[in-house]
Amino acid sequence: MAAWAAKTGPATEKLIRTALGARKQPQQAYRSCLGILRLGKNYGEARLEAACQRALMLGSCRYKCIDSILKHRLGKQPALAACP
């Protein structure tokens, strides 16, 4: 899964590795990680990479946070507060 994320960019790969490492059993994070990577098909890989960079700055590796960043076009704006 990290190899798929690496094709998008280094921030996406780091976010996926962090999400997988955050659970006692990495298998529990697979569905969330697949959802995050699928967002690249809808929004484009460049926007997903920017959203992952922002999420890492905010310290959140959740699908909901990244989806919110993409929906509200916050990928290029400076990070001020945590995601909802």
Q: Is residue 65 part of a domain?
A: yes
- Establish if 55 belongs to a structural domain: yes
Instruction: Please give the angle made by the CA atoms of 15, 19 and 23, to the nearest 5 degrees.
Output: 165
In a domain, 16, yes or no: yes
83 assigned to some structural domain: no
Q: What is the pLDDT confidence band of residue 78, given thresholds at 50, 70 and 90?
A: low
Q: Is position 7 within any domain? A: yes
In-domain check, residue 82: no
pLDDT at residue 82, rounded to an integer: 55
The parent domain of residue 32 ranges over 2-71
Count of domains forming the chain: 1
Q: Is residue 76 part of a domain?
A: no
In a domain, 84, yes or no: no
Three-state SS annotation for 45-80:
HHHHHHHHHHHHHHCCCCHHHHHHHHHCCCCCCCCC
Query: In angstroms, rounded to a whole number, what is the distance separating the alpha carbons of residues 38 and 33?
Result: 9
Please say whether the beta carbons of 63 and 35 come within 8 A: yes
Tens digit of each residue's pLDDT (9 = 90 or more) over 2-54: 888 899 999 999 999 999 998 888 788 899 999 999 999 999 999 999 999 99
The string of pLDDT tens digits covering residues 17-26 is 999 998 888 7
Confidence at residue 74, expressed as pLDDT on a 0 to 100 scale: 87
